[in-house]
Chain A
Amino acid sequence: MLETPAPSSTVQQAPKADAVIRLERIHKIYKMGDIEVHALHGASLSVYRGEFVAIMGPSGSGKSTMMNMIGCLDRPTKGHYFLENQDVSQYNKAQLADIRNQRVGFVFQSFNLVPRTSAIENVELPLVYAGVGSSERLKRAREALAIVGLSDRERSMPNQLSGGQQQRVAIARALVNRPSIILADEPTGALDTRTSIEVMGIFQRLNRERNLTIIIVTHEPDIAQYASRIVHFRDGRIRRDTPVENRRDAGEALKELPPLGADEDDDE
């Protein structure tokens, strides 16, 4: 696990080969009528393989714009974005769709599962767009559901699942195409404390056991403490970029919680 005290990419030449994400002086300007909104002011950020980064900052700080940029949902107005050393900053919509499909796994605050579609089919979705055959799809989707511990719920519809279970399905979907990075936008925002810790536990496990690069956006300092590095945004710029000193472990945090005496997924 690599820690990067300084975000400047020029300084970080040595481990550059392993930089999964390298954003160089990214600007993003939105035009809202006559007003120009400068959402990002030349932000630069590198993330290395196996890092677990938490992005924090008040609303309007540009962190969501940065997430959209990293997730290839949006293109920078100025600057370059290298994803695994590939400059994707000027890709067209179809190319960006392919990049999202192959390299990025998304987890959202509101889970964003396709309604009235079973858990397994939701997990299969990225594979459908990748053109994977149906038997291979099923096999890989089952593997992904097994990783998040939901093998027994593969035929359940999203509305039959608790919030925590839905978020685990979403994580399985993010995993299924074996992406380079997993992006989670407020993944615990809609969950209670216990379930939040459980979800963070899954992220920590994926990060540790599979060396997956994980980037989360969060408001909650507690949640950020499960990451290995915290990046603070303010006014479209990175203000602070620090390694986490006393990193929390989700497994231990769960043990410290008072026992509920009820189903651990009982969060609705």
Chain B
Amino acid sequence: MNFIAILKVAMRALGRNKMRSALTMLGIIIGVGAVIAMVSIGQGAQRMVQDQISSMGSNMLYVMPGNMMQGGASMGMGAASTLTDEDVQAIQREIPAVAHVSPVVRSSGQLVFGNQNWFVQIQGTNEQFPQIRSWKVQEGEFFTDADVQSAARVIVLGKTVAERLFPGMDPVGQTIRVRNLPFRVTGILEAKGQSMVGQDQDDTAVIPYTTVQRKLAGRTIPAINQAMVTGVSEAGSKLAEKQIADLLRQRHKIGPGESDDFMVRNMADVAATSAQLTTIMTLLLGSIAAISLIVGGIGIMNIMLVSVTERTREIGIRMAVGARPNYIRLQFLTESVLLSLMGGLIGIMIGGSISLGISGFLGWPTLVSGLSVFVSFAFATAIGVFFGYYPAHKAAALDPIEALRYE
């Protein structure tokens, strides 16, 4: 068969009714455009969530002290002071699946340098903080184990804090006052951006947890708020989750059947939940768009049926001079696929522009993936074949005698 001849006839047939072809294509254009735009928005959201989770540190576990009952009233998880320094050290010492551990003691305070001041949430941790949170020090360096042992008055500033206190100057080596105590700035953390809940993660300051306990606190030494743990690997952190629970139950002398006085939370679970959510969103958006693509396909079928009826006599002529039924079928199929293919191409361009526009004007992250382009293109073609087949088959099944008589 001569495909160039088929293509030529198809182009001419579509060109003859430009308005009709354009309107038919519009259905596919809208469908494909919507799929591309929706999926790219969904995938952008997915990417954003993943970035944020990995910015918190992957393979990460939080160990929190448990519920405390005070006169019959539950004080909520984390209220108890059941997690001790020794617990944290035991986790480090006894569980090989654990890569890094740090206690966290939280505080807050006014930071003052010269005539600048800034109120900040202070995290007391040990020297393993950068590894655990996978958070690099941009300038200077992080405090050391020796600083932790000696409860040294050293501080590492988040990017936002550094910019507030030291506009236009290098903070490393400077001395600032925290609750009126002098602290030496040893380093600046690199910028990390917003957290999943929209909090500025760079608006923070990190000091040795011992310093929080012994220098910043009042009369009572504050308990450990939580422990941050990272596993040696993703599988390691799963294993560690279990082993930490066992270890702490043993250390806290919790008998079988009694409930834990602590809680271990795996960030991978949180990540999985959010990933699932965004996947559902992508699927939802994508399927709504896919429905419009199917509606577009029905439009193609409709117009091809009209075209077959209009050209019945022509089909009869072609059959009389020797066109096989298969050739007629291919002829009409080519026309419908051409419609859907051109619609698909324009749709991809429009969908791509829409998602670029959204990320440009609204600041949403979007991601036009090669896969979504390929899939929607393939889908558009498949729609052309699927919805074009019935009309093409109808044309091919015509009886040449009847077709020639058709007025």
Q: How far is the CA of A130 from the CA of B318 in the complex (A)?
A: 12
Residues of B within 8 A of A264 (CB): none
Q: How far is the CA of A112 from the CA of B313 in the complex (A)?
A: 8
**B319 adjacent to chain A (CB < 8 Å):** yes
**Cross-chain contact A97 with B323 (CB below 8 angstroms):** yes
**Cross-chain contact A129 with B322 (CB below 8 angstroms):** yes
Please give 9 more A-B residue pairs, beta carbons under 8 A apart, in addition to A93-B325, A131-B1.
A93-B324, A94-B326, A97-B324, A101-B322, A101-B323, A102-B322, A114-B318, A116-B12, A130-B322
Which chain A residue has the least Cβ–Cβ distance from B323? A129
**B358 adjacent to chain A (CB < 8 Å):** no
* B 383-407 contacts with A by CB, 8 A: 400-401, 404
**A253 adjacent to chain B (CB < 8 Å):** no
1/0 per residue, CB under 8 A from A, across B1-34: the answer is 1101100000010001000000000000000000
Which chain B residue has the least Cβ–Cβ distance from A126? B321
Known contacts A108-B404, A131-B2; A126 and B317 CB within 8 A of each other: no
**A128 adjacent to chain B (CB < 8 Å):** yes
Q: How far is the CA of A215 from the CA of B272 in the complex (A)?
A: 80
If over half of B's interface residues share one DSSP class (helix, strand or loop), that class is named, otherwise mixed; here it is: helix
Q: How far is the CA of A131 from the CA of B400 in the complex (A)?
A: 21
**Cross-chain contact B1 with A73 (CB below 8 angstroms):** no
Residues of A within 8 A of B401 (CB): 68, 73-74
Q: How far is the CA of A94 from the CA of B330 in the complex (A)?
A: 14
Which chain A residue has the least Cβ–Cβ distance from B400? A73
1/0 per residue, CB under 8 A from B, across A99-116: the answer is 011100010100011111
Known contacts A94-B325, A128-B5; A106 and B314 CB within 8 A of each other: no
**B118 adjacent to chain A (CB < 8 Å):** no
**B217 adjacent to chain A (CB < 8 Å):** no
Task: Pick the residue among B317, B325, B327, B404 that contacts A114 (CB under 8 A).
Answer: B317
* A 125-146 contacts with B by CB, 8 A: 125-126, 128-131, 134
1/0 per residue, CB under 8 A from B, across A21-46: the answer is 00000000000000000000000000
Which chain B residue has the least Cβ–Cβ distance from A174? B321
Residues of A within 8 A of B326 (CB): 94
Task: Pick the residue among B316, B322, B325, B327 that contacts A126 (CB under 8 A).
Answer: B322
By the criterion of a CB under 8 Å from any partner CB, how many residues of chain A are at the interface? Answer: 28
1/0 per residue, CB under 8 A from A, across B327-338: the answer is 100000000000
Known contacts A68-B401, A116-B16, A131-B2; A98 and B322 CB within 8 A of each other: yes
Least CB distance, A145 to chain B, in whole angstroms = 16
**A168 adjacent to chain B (CB < 8 Å):** no
**Cross-chain contact A125 with B313 (CB below 8 angstroms):** no
Q: How far is the CA of A74 from the CA of B319 in the complex (A)?
A: 12
| Residue among A125, A128, A130 facing the most chain B CB atoms (10 A cut-off) | A128
Q: How far is the CA of A115 from the CA of B310 in the complex (A)?
A: 12
**B277 adjacent to chain A (CB < 8 Å):** no
**Cross-chain contact A101 with B400 (CB below 8 angstroms):** no
Residues of A within 8 A of B324 (CB): 93-94, 97-98, 129
Residues of B within 8 A of A134 (CB): 4
Residues of A within 8 A of B321 (CB): 100-101, 106, 125-126, 129, 173
Residues of A within 8 A of B317 (CB): 112-114, 125
Task: Pick the residue among A93, A112, A115 that contacts B320 (CB under 8 A).
Answer: A112
| Residue among B324, B325, B326, B401 facing the most chain A CB atoms (10 A cut-off) | B324
Q: Which 10 A-B pairs have the closest CB atoms?
A: A101-B322, A129-B322, A97-B324, A126-B321, A94-B324, A128-B5, A100-B322, A112-B317, A129-B323, A73-B400
Q: How far is the CA of A173 from the CA of B321 in the complex (A)?
A: 9
Q: How far is the CA of A106 from the CA of B320 in the complex (A)?
A: 7
Q: How far is the CA of A128 from the CA of B223 in the complex (A)?
A: 90
* B 284-325 contacts with A by CB, 8 A: 313-314, 316-325
Q: How far is the CA of A114 from the CA of B314 in the complex (A)?
A: 6
